[in-house]
Structure 1
């Protein structure tokens, strides 16, 4: 059912002042973009590792409850660590000072990846084995989304490493013309994806992304847009 206030709701999303809960993370990244010049300056003086270390300390104190600044329902001091992590890794990779290819790291990361995967689908696995579902409520707190709990942060790091590992080991998988063109225009594609999220979310306040048809619609629309861009972009360059 389409909301009677569709246009005001859509404008609220576009200007980031009236967002539904699942979109309230976006203003944090808009604010963090302002700090990029400062982050570049810190990297030039102290290096990316110390920039990330400072960011991690801020995240740690946020987990203890000493730092709490909410943008929507998300803690800014917690979520900044992901932005800084990505920035620092990018700088280290560009400067060729990133080395994370030891066998010990690979074994540890892929073990954690399997553990997180089993935790994510624990209910399905236990039901398939006719075993009563166990109480993991105490672990769920460590996966806090609003405060970026320790296990959620670690889960992100593990997934990032898995992608990094496979993109390096099987680089031929990422050398297609389509993916290269998508990579060159990743910002525009991300912007288009956000627009789709806003447009669909504004239809109804009850429309959340846990619903299968919403995810399917977003995925289909995004794939079509990527295909069209990859097919025709070269003609206008």
Structure 2
């Protein structure tokens, strides 16, 4: 059994996009083409979905090979690894802000609780209550991984629709009521940032990924992967949404801001992701060899290490990038600038360093996630 290089490729590509989007200023014209360019979809949605898809393949294989009783132990071990990375990053950010006046000045707005009350903020961060920028993905991932044994076991027992409907119900309740944004604890005038991503909303992407990974391992996805009618329908819808977004159109009786909200995964954003995702799946199944570039696959193979390392790099290097931005910039219009030096620093300085992550974090070898068979290349 071999890895699926296409999964590694897309995870690696999404990690690159996430790093670029985190590193570039909002008004940098380059970011206009890396963040939500094709619609109301960002790399984060794809990364969460692919994490579920990969887990669906791996844990279904383990369940078939050794029984579902081994899944909780595997999930707990993985969740501990993710949580450990989160704690290390939290300590690193805290130490950086407290130990360097330059970093403190640059990051004070984003990490005010860590600067003002570091011990309390660290405790709250360890409890996954305080989740500031860059430190909100891993806690969500750790919690979702703990759900995998239950979901795969229910899938194996035939409770597929019950799981999917339960996930949808949780998503709807969360999206409509926002009952889960409960913490607003003050830190010297600053509000405690509990999270950006709403877990009850974003879990639906992970569960969908688990479902498709489960079906893929069982060999039940080939027919819809090459369904031309579905492909052209999804492509048409994706194109329409792309046009709608870029002409800034307003729809009657629809609150676009709510429907496309990222933190709560608005319904139009979710629908947009599903259509784009199917277009990508169809093309990658038809032309699998297009998505096997080894350097990008390498990043995807060690996604946890690369994601964690990108946070280290951002904390240390973004203040330097900002200095490059101030040296030279070009104002294109009232909304966008081009920062040639800062942009080059991101693409030629920060991105190449991501390839050091597996070596520096001591993960140069890892068992390959198994699949049932090689995905055939349909001509």
Q: For structure 1, which runs of at least 5 residues remain unmatched after alignment?
A: 124-133, 204-209, 231-235
- C-alpha change, 1:170 and 1:81, in structure 2 (3 Å) is same
Is the 1:189–1:226 Cα contact (8 Å) retained in structure 2? Answer: yes
Partner in structure 1 of residue 259 of structure 2: 142
Is the 2:305–2:357 Cα contact (8 Å) retained in structure 1? Answer: no
TM, length-normalised to structure 1: 0.70
Matches within 5 A, 1:66-215: 68-70=179-181, 71-98=194-221, 99-100=223-224, 101-123=226-248, 134-135=249-250, 138-197=255-314, 199=316
Aligned-pair CA distance for 1:3 = 2.1
Partner in structure 2 of residue 225 of structure 1: 353
Would you say 1:3 and 2:115 are equivalent positions? Answer: no
RMSD of aligned Cα (Å): 3.9
Q: For structure 2, which runs of at least 5 residues remain unmatched after alignment?
A: 1-101, 182-193, 321-335, 359-363, 366-379
Could you report, residue by residue, the CA deviation over 1:92-134 in whole angstroms, capped at 9, with x for unpaired residues?
11211124232221121101211222133225xxxxxxxxxx5
Is the 1:196–1:218 Cα contact (8 Å) retained in structure 2? Answer: no
Partner in structure 1 of residue 148 of structure 2: 36
For the residue of structure 2 that corresponds to 1:144, the secondary structure is: coil
More displaced stretch, 217-226 vs 98-107: 217-226
Aligned-pair CA distance for 1:77 = 1.7
Partner in structure 1 of residue 170 of structure 2: 58
TM, length-normalised to structure 2: 0.47
Between the two proteins, the alignment pairs up a number of residues equal to 216
